[in-house]
Amino acid sequence: MIDALRREVRVDWAILAQTFVTIILLNVDRGACIAKTFERIFSSKVTLNQRTSGRYNQWELFPTVVIDSPVWGFGPGSGQSVYARYALLAEREGWLMDSKKGIGWHSLYLHLAVETGAIGIIALAFIVVPPLFRGFTRARSLGEITTLLGILGFLVIGLSVTGMDGHSGFFLGLGFLGSRSDS
């Protein structure tokens, strides 16, 4: 009972500290930027496309794109031009797209599938599936979840970015940490 009370007190202090930090952040120079970003994301006047920086449209457009070249993709480095071409076609059909921007695909999986097709997705699977299974094995047998969390973190990050940055590399590195077969 005392432990439960102590945990409740810790949670209360954490919420209080978070409230004070939020108040302080909103009153410094960056406060206006934070408030503007919050409004852009959570306002009822903002469309889903504006909230997701075009990511929603890319996921919506993806099946149409990948059907045209499922095995080989469109070639390395072609992602932006492919997006611009298919977004223009989608706009002609009444979709709300921004075809004027040749933006890159905002997901590791979309990016690989568009540029390298099924071959790239299979290659990615050969890279991430073994450490994923080893992570599950280590979690079950040793109770160690670092490897599993690392590779799962990388896979989740890949849903919204191409996975070619330092943060993604950190998670991938954690995923490979315990992937040696003798560990």
The reported pLDDT for the residue numbered 113 is 95
Q: Do residue 17 and residue 71 come from a single domain?
A: no
Within a domain: 11: yes
**Residue 183 located in a structural domain:** no
**pLDDT tens string 53-110:** 667 778 888 999 999 999 999 999 898 888 888 888 877 776 666 656 667 888 999 9
Q: Please give the Cα distance from 145 to 153 (Å, whole number).
A: 12
62, 128: one domain: yes
pLDDT for 174: 87
If asked whether residues 36 and 62 sit together in one domain, one would say no
Instruction: Give CA–CA dist 35/30, Å, rounded.
Output: 9
Residue 149 sits in the same domain as residue 116: yes
Mean confidence (pLDDT) of the chain? 81
Of the candidate ranges 65-69, 90-94, 121-125, 144-148, the one whose mean pLDDT is the lowest? 90-94
pLDDT of residue 28 exceeding 90, the answer is no
- The predicted model gives 125-154 an average pLDDT of 91
- Whether 182 maps to a domain, the answer reads no
Mean pLDDT of 42-59: 67
Let me know whether 73 and 160 are in one domain: yes
Tell me, yes or no, whether 84 and 58 share the same domain: yes
Looking at residue 46, its pLDDT comes to 64
Whether the per-residue pLDDT at 167 is higher than 80: the answer is yes
Q: Are residues 41 and 57 in the same domain?
A: no
User: Is 14 inside any structural domain?
Assistant: yes
Instruction: Tell how far CA 165 is from the center of its chain.
Output: 12
| 154 and 134 in a common domain | yes
Domain count, the chain: 2
Domain that holds residue 36: 2-46
Does residue 96 or residue 129 have the better pLDDT?
129
* 28 shares its domain with 81: no
Torsion angle of the four alpha carbons 117, 118, 119, 124, in this order, in degrees rounded to the nearest 10: 100
For the chain, the residue count is 183
| Pair (32, 89) in one structural domain | no
Inform me whether the pLDDT recorded for 48 exceeds 60.
no
Q: What is the pLDDT of residue 54?
A: 66
Instruction: Evaluate whether 104 touches 162 at the Cβ level (below 8 Å).
Output: yes
Do 70 and 108 belong together in one domain? yes
Band of the pLDDT at 11, cuts 50, 70, 90?
A: confident
pLDDT tier, 40 (very low <50, low <70, confident <90, very high otherwise): low
Same domain, 16 and 102: no
